Structure 1
């Protein structure tokens, strides 16, 4: 999709404008000939500006606009920071359905919502809604119409459009990798993606199996040793801040396929375990976007990537392994593998980069889905200031998160009789928090926030339908953390 900006509407196949609920006007629509104006007014009565309702009508007169689309945005007081993202996504999909080459959207006036904000939402919603994962289909949907945005031009607006395009493309990149099947995406594949997006933009280092073992990455080595697809630790460096500025470290769990290992998962829905790499894919998408945005900060992306398979060399329940930070972990369940590889990566990030903050992303626990459902991510942190900033960004991007507590009682729940800790808590109690407690043991004093995205990383049965999140991976966290990083 190519995006243009115009101050006023010009010739277009589809002119799109918004209408508030029970309003007798379409926002920003130019003067029309009498016949078209009559049809528009009648159509407006039909949809009543109800949220999400679309009406496409033919234009008469000089045919400057072949069709006009009216989109309801509901009551003014109910408009959220997601409204125009949702509706513009539906508009873009309607334009594709009509097999159009291009369409135009009139940005509503500031009295409805601040125009830069609504413009950003329109760009993100339209671009992401047109994404489809069709890599393995013989017949592909090739039509992605271009979009013209009708809004008073200013440097601020033009910059917001460019930024929104890069952010949306970062989320799409994350989705496109996360949707790949396990036979097409191994740890080595992810490493190659990292090299590609880092080329001439960022430093990229890949640590492979022999070096992982030699340097004491006991968690990554243990989880990955049952698969013929060897584990990788991916490290990307975006260094555009001052030399003395401490970086932000982003860590993402990337289990390219998770069978559960010796503690084998049930067969039902195991195909969805291709999405166990979503945390790592999120980090890749963020790093791609910040390099293209040329953010003047230092950010390190670390992705521990493994395939968790049963086999003759698999790690076992009862094993005791030594993690990168020197602590030992008793293995009670090989399906609690994500915390093991994350613990290594977190400890490495803290030791080698002395960061001012660490944020990790992981499809870590089914317990998070039980607690918060499939539309809200769990957050656990050791630093109130950091968690508040991330929470504020989540409100801006409407990627919902909810903070869970982490006190000494939860830390005690993962103490082991035979090692420093165990990789499971006590029964099914507080599964999301005890997993975070394991991660907390990998970090000393650095401000840290953990996001459990198990429920939100891909569309599931109870996932709220959003036009810009077609079936499959959602790219959750990319827009959220890019908002946080841009504010730095």
Structure 2
């Protein structure tokens, strides 16, 4: 599927489908042009309710009078275009237009108070992902026809808008890549498989990739990561991906991802219902792959290192048990009180290793870490924790700009104190039931030192359940927005 912009008169666009917005109480310029060319049919059908201005309502017409497009799809924008509604509105319109032809979108008119370049970039990403479908393994698959091309209608032409639209498509490709890994079944998507994928992506995008097997991890002293892996016959892997887009010798931005290719909970076994979704416990690592490859494709002028920890958490005979004590890469010891609190064990070794080896200017980790974050924030907003005010503000702004929102949750010494153990430096869970997301973040904070750091708990946002079950590709848009801001600096 290709992307481009198209100029000229909206009535002259000879495409398979033309998507036009209508406000609840007025018409956009494209709708006005169609109304005039059809002798007032748009106004007439809005009065009758055949075309509706309510948010997301779609009406489809073949051979619309005065238009050269094969079909015109009117989508409702509400009383006034709302930026937060753009993804849903545009996706609904595009889903009406799935066919192997050109589709033109006129969304620059839908948000009159927003910056056109921002609209174009956001629309590019949404359009790129609107037709994503999980890879399936059915013997007979549905013949799903994507549009041949998605074109953004730009009446006056603008090079910056075209650049932004194509950039959005590139981010969409990173989101698609992330979703693809997240949706893979765990018997295919193993730690070894992901390490091989990272090597191939390194060749494709010009990244330096290093893979550490279990012998190398033992030599490094990554006792916490290896402790998680003990119960599985699938050997753990740590993957380091480096992108050199900034000045030589400049400290990199570190992206750290939890890559549990399957999480049964280990000895502290999870309930059976919904356990199939624990293949998504590697979405943090998948999102970091999506982010660093997208940054390389966009040629961002920033150095990036991504550290990914891949393993399974299984209840095998050699599995770590509650009460065991593990020694981390940093030297700190951890008492295991619950083997299902394993993501923080993987991340603590990665954070310490990256801090020591790469001396990054800042670190961001992403992990499907705690169910408590879903209780706190639901499934639309990621949890944010940070030890640095500038990092926190940057992440919040990046989330808002990319429509991939996060919300800052508290870190406090009280959460750290709740992790004290009689037998080790730290316990891997707190001594109470409250504030599970904050205590998990407090555990991680013990391993980052003075490095500016942000932690994204994406347990509620990395995938959807139910009929729409599938990975979302978040927080790749947020991460790219954050990295682009560093590029500007």
TM-score relative to the length of structure 1: 0.93
Match in the other structure for 2:344: 339
8 Å CA contact 1:58–1:68 kept in 2: the answer is yes
User: What CA distance in whole angstroms lies between the structure 2 residues aligned with 1:438 and 1:351?
Assistant: 18
2:391 is the alignment partner of 1:386: yes
2:145 is the alignment partner of 1:140: no
8 Å CA contact 1:28–1:108 kept in 2: the answer is no
2:20 is the alignment partner of 1:55: no
Match in the other structure for 1:20: 23
Match in the other structure for 2:478: 480
Q: 1:262 to 1:57 in 2, by over 3 A?
A: same
Correspondence 1:25-424 to 2 at 5 A: 25-29=27-31, 31-32=33-34, 36-45=38-47, 46=49, 47-59=51-63, 64-76=68-80, 79-96=81-98, 99-109=99-109, 111-137=112-138, 138-145=140-147, 146-151=149-154, 152-199=156-203, 201-424=206-429
User: What CA distance in whole angstroms lies between the structure 2 residues aligned with 1:103 and 1:72?
Assistant: 18
2:443 is the alignment partner of 1:442: no
**Further displaced range: 41-50 or 392-401:** 41-50
The one-character-per-residue Cα deviations of 1:91-143 (angstroms, maximum 9, x if unpaired) are 211111xx452221124347453322222222222221100013313213430
User: What CA distance in whole angstroms lies between the structure 2 residues aligned with 1:207 and 1:296?
Assistant: 27
8 Å CA contact 1:256–1:276 kept in 2: the answer is yes
Instruction: Measure how far apart 1:310 and its partner are.
Output: 1.0
User: What CA distance in whole angstroms lies between the structure 2 residues aligned with 1:69 and 1:388?
Assistant: 39
8 Å CA contact 1:36–1:59 kept in 2: the answer is no
**Structure 2: stretches of 5+ with no match in the other structure:** none
Q: 1:232 to 1:70 in 2, by over 3 A?
A: same
How many pairs are equivalent? 476
Other structure's SS at 1:380 match? strand
Instruction: Measure how far apart 1:233 and its partner are.
Output: 0.3
User: What CA distance in whole angstroms lies between the structure 2 residues aligned with 1:70 and 1:42?
Assistant: 14
Correspondence 1:428-467 to 2 at 5 A: 428-460=433-465
Instruction: Measure how far apart 1:223 and its partner are.
Output: 0.6
Other structure's SS at 2:75 match? strand
User: What CA distance in whole angstroms lies between the structure 1 residues aligned with 2:37 and 2:359?
Assistant: 68
User: What CA distance in whole angstroms lies between the structure 2 residues aligned with 1:389 and 1:306?
Assistant: 31
The one-character-per-residue Cα deviations of 1:291-332 (angstroms, maximum 9, x if unpaired) are 111111001111111100111111111111100001000111
Q: 1:20 to 1:209 in 2, by over 3 A?
A: same
TM-score relative to the length of structure 2: 0.93
**Further displaced range: 279-288 or 452-461:** 452-461
**Further displaced range: 48-57 or 109-118:** 109-118
User: What CA distance in whole angstroms lies between the structure 2 residues aligned with 1:159 and 1:35?
Assistant: 32
Other structure's SS at 2:70 match? strand
User: What CA distance in whole angstroms lies between the structure 1 residues aligned with 2:118 and 2:37?
Assistant: 34
Other structure's SS at 2:17 match? strand
User: What CA distance in whole angstroms lies between the structure 2 residues aligned with 1:263 and 1:359?
Assistant: 28
8 Å CA contact 2:123–2:165 kept in 1: the answer is no
Instruction: Measure how far apart 1:63 and its partner are.
Output: 6.1
8 Å CA contact 2:18–2:104 kept in 1: the answer is yes
Other structure's SS at 2:136 match? coil
Supply the RMSD in Å over aligned alpha carbons.
1.8
8 Å CA contact 1:29–1:106 kept in 2: the answer is no
Instruction: Measure how far apart 1:38 and its partner are.
Output: 3.5
User: What CA distance in whole angstroms lies between the structure 2 residues aligned with 1:61 and 1:94?
Assistant: 19
Q: 1:219 to 1:65 in 2, by over 3 A?
A: same
8 Å CA contact 1:226–1:311 kept in 2: the answer is yes
8 Å CA contact 2:38–2:66 kept in 1: the answer is no
8 Å CA contact 1:251–1:358 kept in 2: the answer is yes
Q: 1:273 to 1:37 in 2, by over 3 A?
A: farther
Determine which of 451, 469, 489 is the counterpart of 1:471.
Answer: 469
**Structure 1: stretches of 5+ with no match in the other structure:** none
User: What CA distance in whole angstroms lies between the structure 2 residues aligned with 1:27 and 1:165?
Assistant: 25
User: What CA distance in whole angstroms lies between the structure 2 residues aligned with 1:277 and 1:445?
Assistant: 27
